[in-house]
Amino acid sequence: MSNRAIGALVVVAALVLLAWSSLFVIQQTERGVMLRFGRVVESNLQPGLHFKIPLVNKVRKFDARLMTLDSPTQRFLTLEKKAVMVDAYAKWRVFNAERFYTATSGMKQIADERLSRRLEAGLRDQFGKRTLHEVVSGERDAMVAELTTSLNKMANAELGIEVVDVRIKAIDLPKEVSRSVYERMSTEREREAREHRAKGRELAEGIRADADRQRRVILAEAYREAEETRGDGDARAASIYAEAFSKNPEFYSFTRSLAAYRNSFESKSDVMVLDPKSDFFKYLETPRP
């Protein structure tokens, strides 16, 4: 191969290499800017195939996907000067590639650092305007929405990024406050328990007294009914005895005397001192017809 052919091949290879180096691609997940000697000449390069002048233009590409800024847990004061420990994070992405490059030199670490300071200031301001109840449950959604709007406006103007969302992962009390709150809650619960026990004892005494009263009433009524029944029985028995006595007084007197003899002489150890001519022994004398 002649020197002329070799030279032609070298020229062709150089042209191919020059053409290849003048082409670049911006992916769908990327944003980019074109620089000329360090100055931005074309901003917000859209996804697709682009051309540049080799050795003159440089291309800086940035990830356009959602980024997460995880803010460290920090201490803030509420409106009533109560301390809370807040753990939050923010979701952001590159919105203006030129502004993002000029503000951060295209470095995510710098963007995170600046956005973190702004997020901390925004959280401090939002918590300082609200009470503990409002930041925990009452106005939490409104606070997050307001913080997202203000932070996005600032970040768009200064950093060229869009803050998509801000979320609070946890709101806790400091350890020393949590301990005192737990002790106060424990004391309050013990007081309520004592009150419930006292009310229970009072109700128990009332129930017991009512049961005793009902018992006495029931026993009195039962005794009254028993006495009435016993009186009716005694009256009927007396009536029967009187009727029987009136029919045959002599036989009735005889049977009564036999019963008296049986009860009196039941035990052999009994001793009775009576006049033999007493009426008690009238049926033991010579039988009468």
199-228, pLDDT tens digit by residue? 999 999 999 999 999 999 999 999 999 999
Neighbours of 33 (CB within 10 A): 23
CA gap 69, 91 in Å, rounded: 6
DSSP E strand boundaries for the chain: 23-26, 30-36, 39-45, 48-51, 57-63, 67-70, 74-77, 83-94, 161-172
* Domain range 67-172, CATH architecture: 2-Layer Sandwich (3.30)
71-101, pLDDT tens digit by residue? 888 888 888 888 888 999 999 998 888 888 8
Overall pTM > 0.75: no
SS3 76: strand
Block mean pLDDT (10 aa), the chain, length 289:
64 60 74 78 75 74 86 88 88 87 86 91 89 80 89 90 90 74 80 90 91 92 91 86 74 74 69 63 59
The domain locations on the chain are 3-63, 67-172, 248-281
> What per-residue confidence (pLDDT) applies to 284?
62
